[in-house]
Chains A and B, each alone.
Chain A
Amino acid sequence: MSVIGVVLLLLAPLWIAIGHSVVLRSRKFGSVPAVPLTTMICTATVIFLWLTLAITEGPRYYRNATPTLFTLCLAILGAHFYFHVFNMSESSRRIRLLRRLLNKQSMRETTKEYTPAGMYQARLERLVSWKQVTLRAGTLYPKASILSLAAHILHILDRLMFPERFIDPLHEDPEVG
Chain B
Amino acid sequence: MARCSVENGFELRYATWIVASTVVSLEEWWRGFFYFLCFFAMHVFLWRNGTVRKSFGTLLVILIIVPSLIYAAFFTLELVARDWLSAWLLHVVLAANYIAAYPAIAAQSPTIQILNVLRKHPEGIAWPVLLQSCPLETAVGDRIDELVIARLIVPADGDYTLTRRGYVLARGFQLFRTFLGLPEGDG
Q: Which residues of A contact B (CB under 8 A)?
A: 1-3, 5-6, 17, 20-21, 24-25, 34, 60, 66-67, 69-70, 73-74, 77-78, 80-81, 84-86, 88-99, 101-102, 106-108, 111, 114-117, 119-120, 122-124, 126-127, 132-133, 136, 138-142, 147-148, 150-152, 154-155, 157-158, 160-163, 165
Contacts and interface: CB of A to CB of B under 8 A. Distances in A.
A115 B171 CA distance: 24
Of the listed residues A99, A141, A152, the one surrounded by the most CB atoms of chain B closer than 10 A to its CB is A99
A115 B140 CA distance: 8
Contacts of B146: 94
Of the listed residues A69, A119, A123, A136, the one surrounded by the most CB atoms of chain B closer than 10 A to its CB is A123
A145 to B, nearest CB: 9
Given A17-B180, A151-B119, A98 B23 contact: no
Which secondary structure characterizes the binding site on chain B? helix
A120 B138 CA distance: 12
B136 A88 contact: no
B181 A101 contact: no
Nearest to A98: B170
Contacts of A142: 115, 118-119, 121-122
A92 B24 CA distance: 36
B136 A81 contact: no
B184 to A, nearest CB: 7
Nearest to B101: A84
Contacts of A91: 109, 111, 185-187
Contacts, number: 226
Interface of B: 1-2, 19-24, 26-27, 29-30, 44, 47-48, 54, 86, 89-90, 93-94, 96-97, 100-101, 103-112, 114-116, 118-119, 121-122, 124-127, 130-131, 134, 136-137, 139-140, 143-144, 146-147, 152-153, 159-162, 166-167, 169-171, 173-174, 176-177, 179-182, 184-187
A151 B139 contact: no
A158 B119 contact: no
Given A81-B96, A138-B126, 8 more contacts: A94-B143, A95-B173, A98-B166, A106-B160, A116-B139, A132-B115, A138-B127, A141-B118
Contact of B147 (A66, A98, A157): A98
A143 B54 CA distance: 33
Q: Which 4 residue pairs spanning A and B have beta carbons closest together? A: A84-B100, A151-B115, A116-B139, A98-B170
Contacts of A106: 159-160
